[in-house]
Structure 1
């Protein structure tokens, strides 16, 4: 599985240096961040096109690791792409409820939430005190996407402010996604 690639999909405003996604990118061979042109005013169509470009330019089996708005990106991309077979699975961490009334206007283009079943293995991760999504809403999205839901207790938005460090539990969840997608990851850190 040396050719396994993990694409990190940050959410709105990108992932800062203390975010587990940034740590994974720096420490793990084969983990790379998908860069978007506009992190502040993200447009769903633009982000979908960028993800499609990166996936088409990648070799080997792919795993997607999405945080926050990146989860909505995975759902929207999968509903429209003809290349979903390139993806073995997705870890969807802290999906935000972009349909809430208190969401900033920067995120209005992400409405409505795409709720089509994902054509690959997926696990969604929710925190009981996420300020951007309640557990029942996260559970509903996960069910619609056909994703297994894992609640990890009180971890806020499961980001750099959550103090997760390298987040080994997340790596284990990713291993489970890989196995559910038919892969046997043998690369570091597994």
Structure 2
């Protein structure tokens, strides 16, 4: 499925555990690659961007990014600094790093970059996510030139939502993989 496209999963703060849909996808598709960060709990934007850039630079085929939570901001920051063979991004449950109530311990992620992304993108937002209001997710999607998908009330669309292999999200990923 991904021979002509490389899928990179980008977990949010704390990494994605065994019940997270990203982990389910990686188990089903071992060619998907999780971008590892040296520090998951107290992330620094420069270190995270550098780690992502290193993996993207290794790719000799187009890349689709699958970001969750804080890593949605990572993708926006990467796009503001670098160019590369990225053809699409699935941006799930963006954390509103500009919100003063956002948890401390993430260095340099605010302000959220709001420039148009140079690749196709889909933002997926829940109607009841404590880390981003639907109105704010709409602002992000519009600024990035992304399509907004709202599957319903699933909280932060992470492990606690118990989405399993999350067919809804996987169908969106397939759209991005299948882009020319």
Do the two structures share a fold, i.e. TM-score over 0.5?
Answer: yes
Q: Which secondary structure state, in structure 2, belongs to the residue aligned with residue 107 of structure 1?
A: coil
**What is the alpha-carbon distance in structure 2 between the residues aligned to residue 59 and residue 17 of structure 1?**
29
| Structure 1 residue ranges (4+ consecutive) displaced by more than 4 angstroms after TM superposition | none
The Cα RMSD (Å) is 1.1
Question: Which ranges of structure 2 fall in alignment gaps of 5 or more residues?
Answer: none
- Is residue 2:96 matched to residue 1:116? no
Q: Which secondary structure state, in structure 2, belongs to the residue aligned with residue 164 of structure 1?
A: coil
**What is the alpha-carbon distance in structure 2 between the residues aligned to residue 109 and residue 52 of structure 1?**
17
Counterpart contact for 1:3–1:59, Cα < 8 Å: no
- 1:95-139, Cα deviation, whole Å (9 max, x unpaired): 011111111211252110011110000000000010100000001
Q: Normalising to structure 2: TM-score of the pair?
A: 0.96
Counterpart contact for 2:5–2:177, Cα < 8 Å: no
**What is the alpha-carbon distance in structure 2 between the residues aligned to residue 27 and residue 142 of structure 1?**
29
- 1:9-51, Cα deviation, whole Å (9 max, x unpaired): 0011110110000111111142110000000110111100110
Q: Which secondary structure state, in structure 2, belongs to the residue aligned with residue 14 of structure 1?
A: coil
**What is the alpha-carbon distance in structure 1 between the residues aligned to residue 142 and residue 73 of structure 2?**
14
**What is the alpha-carbon distance in structure 2 between the residues aligned to residue 111 and residue 4 of structure 1?**
30
Number of matched pairs: 179
The aligned residue for residue 66 of structure 1 is 67
Counterpart contact for 2:94–2:125, Cα < 8 Å: yes
The aligned residue for residue 102 of structure 1 is 101
Counterpart contact for 2:45–2:107, Cα < 8 Å: no
Q: Which secondary structure state, in structure 2, belongs to the residue aligned with residue 15 of structure 1?
A: coil
**What is the alpha-carbon distance in structure 2 between the residues aligned to residue 150 and residue 17 of structure 1?**
25
The aligned residue for residue 82 of structure 1 is 83
- Is residue 2:164 matched to residue 1:161? no
Counterpart contact for 2:42–2:107, Cα < 8 Å: no
Counterpart contact for 1:10–1:67, Cα < 8 Å: yes
**What is the alpha-carbon distance in structure 1 between the residues aligned to residue 167 and residue 39 of structure 2?**
30
**What is the alpha-carbon distance in structure 1 between the residues aligned to residue 27 and residue 93 of structure 2?**
21
Counterpart contact for 2:43–2:107, Cα < 8 Å: no
Question: Which ranges of structure 1 fall in alignment gaps of 5 or more residues?
Answer: 183-190
